[in-house]
Structure 1
Amino acid sequence: MQTLPPVSHNALVVTARWVEQGALRYTPAGLPAVDLTLEHEGTTTEAGMARRVTFKLKAVALGPVVRQVQVVAADSLAHWSGFLAPTRNGKGVVMHVTQIEPAV
Structure 2
Amino acid sequence: MENHLVISAFISEAKPMRYTPAGLPALDMRIEHVSRMTESGQERDVKVDIKAVAIGSVAERLAGQEIGSQWRFTGFLASPRSARTVVFHVQDFQQV
TM range (shorter): over 0.9
Q: Which runs of 5+ in 2 are unaligned?
A: none
| Superposition CA RMSD, Å | 1.1
> Is 2:84 aligned against 1:84?
no
Q: How many residues align?
A: 96
Q: What percentage of aligned pairs have identical amino acids?
A: 40
Alpha-carbon distance between aligned partners in 1 of 2:47 and 2:4, rounded to the nearest angstrom: 20
Q: Is the 8 A contact 1:34 1:60 kept in 2?
A: yes
Query: 4+ runs of 1 displaced by more than 6 Å?
Result: none
Give deviations 1:18-73, integer Å, cap 9, x for gaps. 11111111101111001001011111111122111011000000011012212322
Q: Which runs of 5+ in 1 are unaligned?
A: 1-7
Report how far residue 90 of structure 1 moved: 1.6
TM-score computed with the length of structure 2 as normaliser: 0.93
Alpha-carbon distance between aligned partners in 2 of 1:77 and 1:37, rounded to the nearest angstrom: 12
1:1-104 matches, cutoff 5 A: 8-103=1-96
